[in-house]
Amino acid sequence: MTRIITLRVNGKSYENEVSPRLLLVHYLRDVLGLTGTHIACDTSQCGACTVMFNGESVKSCTMLAVQADGGEVKTVEGLATNGKLHPLQQGFWEKHGLQCGFCTPGMLMSSLNLLQRNPDPTPDEIRHALEGNLCRCTGYQNIVAAVQWAAQEMKAKPAAGVAE
């Protein structure tokens, strides 16, 4: 038994026949080949799989692909525009907010969600907003600095961080 779903991912339309038990994260990774979204747990606790769904961050391992039918998904691959890095991406690079990089895509998408709600977060607000995204490498300090850097950048150049 399969179902047909239609959705937009990073601004592109897709129509696929999927098994109803297929998770959104596996749809993105295995069907569409968008392997930037990572999986690091089985219990919805690590945040590595975070994507934007209809403008809100969701853990794509807790959603079925069929639930995304008709919706709009944005993954880390859709964060840069025309080859220009999003300020958050730039911030994580410049401020060294990553080591192995495995948590980074999810961390970026959660940060995007934070900055959309709160364009000028304090370090404490960042720490709490990103509490659901585990990182085993960096010790988080530079991640906070990266998000702050991006917030400043987006204030200075509002167009830079427009998420469609």
Name which of residues 134 to 163 contact ligand FES (CB under 6 A): 135-138
Q: How far apart are CA 61 and CA 30, in angstroms?
A: 13
Cα R_g (the chain), whole angstroms: 16
Choose the binding region for ligand FES from 71-79, 100-108, 122-130, 147-155 (rule: CB under 6 A).
100-108
Among other proteins, ligand FES, none, what does residue 61 contact (CB within 5–8 Å per kind)? ligand FES
Residue closer to other proteins (CB basis): 11 or 70: 11
CB of 147 to other proteins, least distance (A): 10
Size of the site for ligand FES (CB under 6 A): 21
In this structure, the dihedral spanned by the alpha carbons of residues 80, 47, 39 and 115, taken in order and rounded to 10 degrees, is 0
Handedness of CA 106, 110, 111, 113 (dihedral sign): positive
Q: Which of 25, 32, 37, 154 binds other proteins (CB under 8 A)?
A: 37
Q: Which of 2, 11, 100, 157 binds other proteins (CB under 8 A)?
A: 100
CB of 15 to other proteins, least distance (A): 20
DSSP letter for each residue of 52-102: EETTEEEETTSSBGGGGTT-EEE-GGGSSBTTBPPHHHHHHHHTT--SS-S
Choose the binding region for other proteins from 1-9, 57-65, 89-97, 112-120 (rule: CB under 8 A).
89-97
Tell me 150's DSSP state: H
Those residues with Cβ within 8 angstroms of residue 117's Cβ, 6 or more apart along the chain or in another chain: none
Size of the site for other proteins (CB under 8 A): 60
Among other proteins, ligand FES, none, what does residue 163 contact (CB within 5–8 Å per kind)? none
